Amino acid sequence: MIKEKVRVKNFKIDGVCVTGQSNQTILEVAHDNDIEIPTMCHLRGLSNVGSCRMCIVEIEGRHEPIPSCTAKIKEGMEVTTSSPRIKAAREMILSMMFSERSHTCSTCVVNGDCQLQSKSVELELGHSFTPYLNQRFEVDASHKNFVNDPNRCILCTRCIRVCDEIEGAHALDLFGRGLNTRIIHDMDEPWADSTSCTSCGKCVYVCPTGALYEKDISEEEVVKKREIITELVKNRGQR
Ligand code: SF4
Ligand code: SF4
Ligand code: FES
């Protein structure tokens, strides 16, 4: 197979001249240059799926904003990471995440260590713009160490990707459609009965919310090790 040549591209982010490689995304180059773009489904070390739309940016000459975690850089492009339109869109995305499931932070085990919560504070989301749907899903607490609570899930699929791409188990998948979509183990077995799960806990570490968490620990003891994936990928690359 002929490998595509990687070329250097020059472009602008928020008026700042930046340089990247043609196989990089706008988000990667922004992060390399300490330009902050909010994300949710993205996690360094995993593939990007562009599902949450939190990282949208505007491109000069293009009508619709695009997700910066999946968009490759182009020579001469002019990227805007923040504008009244983008801010309103990000607020609406967050608002929909809150109203779709049950996010009562005061009674959540990851209260204080939740990326949905911290993003809302960061973007100054004072209230939800969309009506609460009060979805109710069964909680799976069958595993000896972990709990799967779909009521807190934002369907970012980080857990599926880490299980597939890093652990190599592919124990998780999405099941159902629309509002009823949820994360399942194997063929929708209780977590304890999953034959492909290795109980490594990586899915729990990367989950941005309280949808996956460790059993029998208090709010103060919760430590999500989201950066562990970047470390694992880096170390594998060095071998
Ligand atoms: S604990 Fe590990 S193997 Fe099991 S579902 Fe999570 S990532 Fe996959
Ligand atoms: S369980 Fe957590 S990591 Fe998995 S899709 Fe839901 S919110 Fe994302
Ligand atoms: S972080 Fe880019 S679409 Fe979710």
167-187 tens-digit pLDDT: 999 999 999 999 999 999 999
Residue 31's pLDDT band (boundaries 50, 70, 90)? very high
Q: Which of 82, 97, 121 represents a domain boundary (last residue)?
A: 82
Choose which residue among 44, 46, 53, 161 to substitute to test ligand 3 binding: the one with the highest number of ligand atoms within 8 A of its C-beta: 53
CA distances (Å), 45 to each of 78, 99, 239, in order? Answer: 26, 29, 16
> pLDDT digits over 182-239, tens only?
999 999 999 999 999 999 999 999 999 999 999 977 666 666 777 777 777 777 665 4
Choose which residue among 69, 72, 209 to substitute to test ligand 3 binding: the one with the highest number of ligand atoms within 8 A of its C-beta: 69
Closest protein CA for atom 3 of ligand 3: 50
Confidence (pLDDT) at 222 = 66
Q: Please list the residues that pair with 18 across neighbouring strands.
A: 11
- What is the Å distance from ligand 3's center to 142 Cα? 31
Does 81 contact ligand 2 (Cβ within 6 A)? no
Global model pTM greater than 0.85: yes
Q: Nearest-CA neighbor of 26 among 63, 62, 58?
A: 58
N-terminal to C-terminal alpha carbon distance within the chain: 24
Name the domain count of the chain: 2
Domain CATH code at residue 130:
3.30.70.20
Print the domain residue range for 73.
8-82
Confidence (pLDDT) at 239 = 41
Does 198 contact ligand 1 (Cβ within 6 A)? yes
Does 212 contact ligand 2 (Cβ within 6 A)? yes
Confidence (pLDDT) at 2 = 64
Same domain as 200, residue 164: yes
Confidence (pLDDT) at 216 = 78
> pLDDT digits over 15-24, tens only?
999 999 999 9
Choose which residue among 55, 122, 155 to substitute to test ligand 3 binding: the one with the highest number of ligand atoms within 8 A of its C-beta: 55
> pLDDT digits over 100-140, tens only?
999 988 889 888 889 999 999 999 988 888 898 888 999 99
Residue 219 belongs to some domain of the structure? yes
Residue 129 belongs to some domain of the structure? yes
Helices (H), the chain: 26-32, 84-100, 115-122, 158-161, 202-206, 228-238
Residue 20 belongs to some domain of the structure? yes
> pLDDT digits over 51-98, tens only?
999 999 999 999 999 999 999 999 999 999 999 999 999 999 999 999
Same domain as 218, residue 120: yes
Confidence (pLDDT) at 15 = 97
